[in-house]
Amino acid sequence: MDQVNSILILVLIIIAAIAAIIFIPRWRLQRAMKQVIRIFRHFNATDAKNAKTLDEMGLAPRSFLQSAFRGRDYKQYALTFLRSANILLLTDEGKVYLSEERVSSTGLDKRLGLR
């Protein structure tokens, strides 16, 4: 009976680890997307004339040493995702702005609890 309990506990630990590996990064990405959208709104970078650089908003990629000591920066993954979904758009000058229309039309604001 002790062996069965030990095996059952081990199986539950493995299932919990697999669930953590799948759901924690997803949760962190969603949290980062919410933070990135709030940053763009804070800087009023919501149209082409108010577009800002990532440096101006504090969203520039970390250096190798900063990443080594602070862990993954999910905001960079969020920026990549939002740009691929055409929610973040680039101007000719290389500045970036948030398309509020795309945020609403994709339903991202509701899914992330932004409104």
Output the pTM of the full model: 0.83
Task: Look up residue 52 and give its DSSP letter.
Answer: B
Taking 80 as the threshold, does the pLDDT of residue 24 lie above it?
yes
Mind listing the pLDDT tens digit for each residue in 30-85?
999 999 999 999 999 999 999 999 999 999 887 777 767 777 789 999 999 999 99
Model confidence pLDDT, tens digit, residues 7-21: 999 999 999 999 999
pLDDT at residue 54, rounded to an integer: 95
Query: What would the two tokens of residue 101 be?
Result: 């229309």
Q: Where are the domains of the chain?
A: 31-111
Calculate the CA dihedral of residues 42, 45, 49, 53 and round it to 10 degrees. 110
CB 37 within 8 A of CB 89: no
- CATH 1.20.58, applies to 31-111: no
pLDDT of residue 115: 64
Q: Largest alpha-carbon pair distance within the chain?
A: 70
